[in-house]
Amino acid sequence: MTENRSEFDAKAAESGAGATEAFRKKQKAAVHVPAERVSAMATDALQAIHEVIRKHQMTYEEYDALKTWLISVGEDGEWPLFLDVWVEHVVEGVNTSHREGSKGSIEGPYYVPGAPEHPHDGTIAMREDEPGTPLTWSGQVTSTSGEALGGATVELWHADGNGFYSQYAPGLPEWNLRGTFVSDGEGRFSIHTVQPAPYQIPTDGACGRLIAAAGWHAWRPAHLHVKVSAPGHELLTAQLYFPGDPHNEDDIASAVKPELVLDPQDAGDGTSSVDYGFVLDPVTADSPTTR
C-alpha cells in the first residue's frame, strides 16, 4: 500500500476489513443469548428463507449464485456493511419503540469510539481546506422530565464533502470529522463542522454486486452521526439529515425519519447554522440494551 493514496482510492475490501475489525474490538466480551431465544429466532429465520425459496421456485443455479455471494460477503469483510444497511433499522426500531424522548436511528458500520474530546463550544477536527459548507450546530440535551443535562456527551462523526469517512478511506487524518463534545451546565453545546455530502455505499465488493444484480441504487442521503449520553439516561444513537436531499425518500439503509431532518439556516456568508437538541429517556429496570 503506497503512502500517496487519496480517499478516492478507497476499496470496499479495505473498508469492510476495517469495519469487521472495529466490530470485533467492540465485542471483546462473549455475548450470551439463551438457547431458547437462539432456537426461536434461528428457526423463524430459516423458515422465512424456506418460504422465499418455495414462493419464487428457486433454481439450483440461483442457489449456487446465492452461496457464491454469501462466501464473498465474508471474504470482503462486508457483513457489518450488509447488516447495518439492510437489517439494523428494524433492530433499532424494536429496541427504541418504548422511548418518549428523541427519535434514534442506526449506528452504521463506521463508528469509532474514543474521538478527541472538546468543550461545549468547539470545532471538530478537520483539514484546513475541508470541503463543504461550514455548519454551526447548536442544541441542548435534556431529560424527558425537562431537566437540563449538564456534562452530557455528544459524539459526532460524519463523511466529508466527498462522501468518505476517516479511518475507512486512505489519505484522511485519523480523527477527521470525528469528535466528542461535552455540554455545559445547562446541557447546551455548539459544534463547528462542515455539511457532509450524500454518498454511495461501497459498490466494488459483495454488497455492490447485490445492488447491481437487483437493479437497486447505492445512495445514502447526507447525514450527521451522533451518540448522545448522560448518566442515568439511555444512550441515544441517531443520524441527522438535511432537507431537500434527493435520497431522503429512498435511502438504501431505510434510516431516515421525519423527526431527524434538520432545518439549517443560511447565514448569508457562505455558512449555515442549525438548532437541534436531544431529549433523553431515563434508564429504568425495563430499559433494553441499546447502542
Residue 182 lies in a domain: yes
Range of the domain at 176: 7-291
Beta-carbon-side half-sphere exposure of residue 195 (alpha carbons within 13 Å): 21
Residue tagged 444512550 (cell numbers): 235
pLDDT of residue 43: 98
Report the distance separating Cα 132 and Cα 160, nearest Å.
7
Does some domain include residue 2? no
Does residue 1 form part of some domain? no
The dihedrals phi and psi of 41, each to the nearest 5 degrees, come to -70, -40
Cell of 227: 451518540
192 closest CA partner among 210, 171, 209, 177? 177
Tell me the per-residue pLDDT of 195-224, one tens digit each, with 9 for 90 and over. 999 999 989 999 999 999 999 999 999 999
Question: What's the rounded Cα separation, in Å, for the pair 267 and 270?
Answer: 7
Q: How far apart are the first and last CA of the chain?
A: 34
Q: Which pLDDT score, from 0 to 100, does residue 285 have?
A: 77
On whether residue 72 sits in a domain, the answer given is yes
Residue 266 lies in a domain: yes
Residues in the chain where the model's pLDDT stays below 50: 1-2
- Which DSSP symbol is given to 27? T
Q: What is the pLDDT of residue 2?
A: 43
pLDDT at 137: 98
**Residue 28: predicted pLDDT:** 60
The per-residue pLDDT of the chain, averaged, comes to 92
pLDDT confidence of residue 73: 95
Domain total for the chain?
Answer: 1
Distance, in Å, from the CA atom of 204 to the CA atom of 219, rounded to the nearest integer, reads 14
> Has residue 243 been placed in a domain?
yes
* Beta-bridge partners for 219: 200
Nearest to 154 by CA among 106, 207, 115, 101: 115
> Count of CB atoms within 10 A of residue 170's CB?
17
pLDDT value at residue 24: 64
Query: CA-to-CA distance for 63 and 45, rounded, in angstroms?
Result: 17
Per-residue model confidence (pLDDT) at position 284: 87
Instruction: Determine, yes or no, domain membership for 130.
Output: yes
Give the pLDDT confidence of 66-95 residue by residue, as tens digits. 999 999 999 999 999 999 999 999 999 999
CATH number at residue 287: 2.60.130.10
Q: Nearest CA to 179 among 189, 169, 168?
A: 189
Rg of the chain over Cα atoms, rounded to whole angstroms, equals: 20
